[in-house]
Amino acid sequence: MVLDGAGLHAWAERRPPRQVLAVMEVLRRAGAGRVLVPSVVTVEALTGDPRDASVNQVLKQVDVEEHLPLTHARAAAALRQGTEGSAVDAVVAEAALRTTAAYLITSDTDDINALIDRGTGRTLVVTV
């Protein structure tokens, strides 16, 4: 599972769709899966003040992918060509496709779906 900024906030506030929240909790507790957040997402999600407390708690429970190798950046750029997706959206979509994530949690369904559709994967985009 991959989270973008809205997905990260949704998990922190416990507001994704119930079935997705249940899957996220099972994965986290069992260690049977991976919840991934590209570090660039934290730039969108954090404010740098006390309002970040719930998001910071989630960041302790997920895998934050802190490095963006050039090969991943190039793959994200290729996905972005001809779409309205932002660079951050492209990095998130690339991470989901590369890791064969079952779910990508976002509020930006149109842009993310366009990016996912350019790749070869079966990631389900879930709207929060």
Chain segment 73-114, per-residue pLDDT in tens: 999 999 999 999 999 999 999 999 999 998 899 999 999 999
* Residue 75, domain CATH: 3.40.50.1010
Q: What is the DSSP letter of 76?
A: H
pTM greater than 0.75? yes
User: Which residue bears the tokens 């506030």?
Assistant: 13
pLDDT of residue 13: 85
Spatial distance between the Cα atoms of 46 and 117, rounded to a whole number of angstroms = 28
**Token pair belonging to 124:** 């389900």
Grade residue 16 by pLDDT with cuts at 50, 70 and 90: low
Q: Which domain holds residue 41?
A: 2-127
How many domains is the chain partitioned into structurally? 1
Whether the CB-CB separation of 105 and 7 falls below 8 Å is answered with: yes
Report H helices in the chain: 5-12, 18-30, 39-45, 53-59, 70-80, 87-98, 109-118
